[in-house]
Chain A
Amino acid sequence: MRSLSTCFIAIRALRRNKLRSVLTGLGIIIGVAAVIAIVSIGNGAKAQVEAQVASLGQNVISILSGNYTSGGLRSGGGGAGTLSPEDAIAIAREIPDAIAVSPEVRDRAQILANGLNWNTSVIGEGTDYLLIRAWDLAKGAMFTEQDVRSVGKVCIVGQTVVDQLFPDGDAVGQTLRIRNIPFKILGVLKGKGYNLFGQDQDDVVVVPYTSSMKRVSKRTNLNSILVQASSPEKMDRVQQDITDLLTQRRSGREPDFTVRNQIELAQAATATANTMTLLLGIVAAVSLVVGGIGVMNIMLVSVTERTREIGIRLSIGAHDRDIRIQFLIEAMILSGLGGAIGVALGAGLSEGLAYLNGWNTSIPAWSVFAGLGGSALIGVIFGYFPASKASQLDPIEALRFE
C-alpha cells in the first residue's frame, strides 16, 4: 500500500506551510464553531423548555370546571364550580388508567408566621398531588389520606413561602396561620422555579382539599381535578373516559366542564425551540459551506504555487493517484483538524455564552460528530477539484514552471 506513505507526504507538506495551513483551516474552524455553539445553545433552550414542561407533571390531564352566566354576568372559566369531590372519587374508581387523581381547590390568602405575613396561593389538593406534579419534598412528609378525611389543619409549603416567613430556614414542625387558622407545616417542597408563564411555582401553600373547602376557601366544590394517565399512549383514552364518565354522572345535562392535557402545550413550546435551532443551524451550515469554498480556493492557489513541487514528485515516480490523494488528504486534514478545533472553540463559545447570560447549553454528541464528519466531508468535496487538477499536470511543463 502506498496510501500510508502518501499520508506521510501530505502531513509533511502541511507541516512545511504552517501559516497557509492555519489560514486555510480558519474558515472551517469558524464554520464548525458556529454550528456547535448554535446547536448547543438551541439544544439548551429546548432542554430548558422540556424541563419546564416536565415540571408540570407527566401525562397530566386537567378537568376544569365550567362557567356560569347570571343576569348577564359571566363568570369566566372554572367559575361555575360544577366539579365535586365525588367526581374525582368516581374517576379514581372507574378509570383504571387514571393512576393518580387529585381534586383541586384554589384560593389566595394572607398567611402569617413568625410575626411576618405574606399573600400567597393556598391550594387544596389530594394526597396524589405531588406524584402528579412530579414534585419532591425537600424536608418532612406529605399529608396523608387520614389528614384529608379528618379535614386536618396541616400543610406543606413551597420554597418561596419558607424564604418569606421563616428566614431561619427551619419551617417543618412550625405553625403558620391561614386566615387566622393555625396550620402545622408537615413538609417543605423542593424548589421548582418559574413555570412556562413566568409564575413562581414555589410561592404556594398546599393543604388537604377538604381543609381548604371547610376552613380556608369555604367553597363547596372544586376548581379542577388533576389526573395522571398511566402512559402517554393512554392519554387520549383516559381523556375520553373522563369525559364519558362525567357526562354520564350529569345524566344528560349540558357538559359543564372541559378536559385538557398538557401535551399540546409541551409540543407547542418544544416546536418553537426546534424552529429556532433549525433556523440558526442553517445559517451556521451556510458559513461552513463558505469555509469549505475557502479551503478549495486556497487549495487551488496552492496547486498553482506548488506546480514545480508537483513536477518534481511526478518526475521521480509519483502516479496521478499519489498526487491526487496527497492533495485530498491535505484538504481533509486541514478541514478535519479545523473541524476538531472548531468543535473545541464552539464548545468553549457556548459555555462562555451560557456563563455570561445564564443560559442553559448542552452540546449534543451528534453535533460533535456532524461537525467533525461534515468538515472532513467538505475537505473531500472541495479538495477533489484542486487535487485532480494537480494530478493531471504534465511533469515537463510543471518542472519548467517558475
Chain B
Amino acid sequence: MQPVVQLEDIHRVYDTGEIKVHAVRGVTLTIQKGEFIAIMGSSGSGKSTLMNTLGCLDQPTSGRYLLDGIDVSGLGRNQRADIRNQKLGFVFQGFNLLSRTTALENVELPMLYSKNRLTARELRDRAMHALDIVGLAARHDHFPNQLSGGQQQRVAIARSLVNHPQVLLADEPTGNLDTRTSIEVLGVFQKLNDQGITIVMVTHELDIARFCKRNLVVRDGLVVRDEQVKDRSIAAIELDRHRDAETAAKLTGHVA
C-alpha cells in the first residue's frame, strides 16, 4: 500500500542573517495509513520544525515530501493552503478556536475555505456530524469560553476532522490539559485511529506518547529512535485507573 507520508532526507535551515540554524538535518520517514505516531523530543530538538514541515506550514530547505503520493515540497503558498485544507487536520496545544464564535461555526470554518462549495445545510450537517464524533453535538451553540479545556480541544478535533483529512496533526494537544482530561482527549484520538485515521502527535511527555502505536524521538534535528510501543496505554483503562486513584486519594484523605 502507498504510504500516506514519505519524507526523504528533509533539511530545514533557518537563515537569520549571520547565523544559520540547522533545525532539521536530514530526516527520512515513512508513515503508513492508520498509524498513530508520537514525535518526542526536548525543546530545540527540531520536532516543531518537523511538525510544521509535515503540516505544509513550512517548506523544507531541501529534500522531498510526498503526501498521499503528491510531492508537496515545491508547492507555493496557496497550493500548500489547499493541501492543508483538503488533506491535513490540525490540533494545537492552545486549541486555537475563534473566540466569540460558536463551536459549530468553528467546525464549519475549514469547509468555508474548501474548493468545493457546500450549501449552508451541508455545512451544518457535516459540522454537526464531526461534533457528534467527539461527543459535543449537544453543545454546538456554545462559545469557546463556555466550554472546558477538554471540550475546547474536542471542538478543535472536530474542526480538524471535518474535511476528512489524510493525516491528523496534533501539536502537544494535551499540553494545556490536566491528567484526566488529557486521557479523555487521547481516548478520542485512539477512537479515531481505530476507525483508520492516521495521527501524528508531538509531545514531550512519555506517558502521553505511550498511548500511540509508534514513537519517534528527535534530537538535534535527527530522528534518533523509531520504535513500536510495546505495552500501549488504552484510554478507557487508564481513565478507570485514574478514577480509582482519585477515589482512593479522597478516601485516605477522609480517613486521615
Contacts and interface: CB of A to CB of B under 8 A. Distances in A.
Given A12-B105, A16-B100, A314-B81, A395 B114 contact: no
Nearest to B143: A16
Given A9-B112, A16-B100, A399 B92 contact: yes
A389 interface: no
B126 interface: no
Interface in A290-325: 308-309, 311-322
Contact of A316 (B58, B117, B159): B159
Given A1-B117, A316-B84, A316-B85, A8 B78 contact: no
A319 B99 CA distance: 21
Contacts of B114: 317
Interface in B100-116: 100-101, 105, 109-110, 112-115
Contact of B58 (A309, A313, A396): A396
B145 interface: no
Contact of B81 (A6, A12, A317): A317
Contacts of A309: 98
B52 interface: yes
Contacts of A315: 55, 57, 84, 90, 96
Nearest to B159: A316
Contact of B113 (A1, A16, A308, A318): A318
Contacts of A6: 112
Contacts of B98: 16, 309, 312
Contacts of A144: none
Contacts of B176: none
Interface in B48-79: 52, 55, 57-58, 77-78
B89 to A, nearest CB: 8
A253 interface: no
B100 A399 contact: no
Contact of A318 (B81, B159, B163): B81
Contacts of B52: 396
Contact of A317 (B101, B105, B113): B113
A302 B19 CA distance: 34
A5 interface: yes
A17 interface: yes
A72 to B, nearest CB: 92
A12 B105 CA distance: 9
In this complex, the interface size class of chain A, counting residues with CB under 8 Å from chain B, is 20 to 34
B193 interface: no
B244 interface: no
B246 interface: no
Interface string A219-251: 000000000000000000000000000000000
Contacts of B77: 319-320
B96 A8 contact: no
Contacts of A313: 109, 113
B85 to A, nearest CB: 2
Given A317-B84, A396-B58, A312 B113 contact: no
Contacts of A319: 77-78, 81-82, 113
Given A314-B81, A318-B81, A308 B96 contact: yes
A233 to B, nearest CB: 61
B57 A316 contact: no
B86 interface: yes
A313 B85 CA distance: 10
A321 B159 CA distance: 22
Nearest to A17: B100
Contact of B85 (A317, A320, A399): A317
A399 B101 contact: no
B96 A317 contact: no
A399 B172 CA distance: 14
Contacts of A312: 96-98, 109
Contacts of A16: 98-101
A150 B41 CA distance: 122
A17 B98 CA distance: 12
B112 A5 contact: yes
Contacts of B92: 399
A317 B100 contact: no
Given A314-B81, A316-B85, A319-B78, A395 B57 contact: yes
A231 B78 CA distance: 67
Contacts of A1: 117
Contacts of B85: 316-317
A73 B112 CA distance: 93
Interface string B109-129: 110111101000000000000
Given A16-B101, A316-B90, A317-B86, A8 B112 contact: yes
Contacts of B105: 12
A6 B114 CA distance: 11
A319 B98 CA distance: 18
Interface in A1-46: 1-2, 4-6, 8-9, 12, 16-17
A396 B57 contact: yes
Interface of A: 1-2, 4-6, 8-9, 12, 16-17, 308-309, 311-322, 395-396, 399
30 contacts: A1-B117, A2-B113, A5-B112, A5-B113, A5-B117, A9-B112, A12-B105, A17-B100, A308-B96, A309-B98, A312-B97, A312-B98, A313-B109, A313-B113, A315-B57, A315-B84, A315-B90, A315-B96, A316-B90, A317-B81, A317-B85, A317-B114, A318-B81, A319-B78, A319-B81, A320-B78, A322-B113, A395-B57, A396-B58, A399-B92
Given A9-B112, A320-B77, 9 more contacts: A4-B117, A12-B101, A311-B96, A315-B57, A316-B84, A317-B86, A319-B81, A396-B52, A399-B92
Q: Which 10 pairs across A and B sit closest by C-beta, in order of nearness?
A: A317-B85, A16-B100, A317-B113, A319-B78, A5-B112, A316-B110, A318-B113, A317-B84, A312-B96, A317-B81
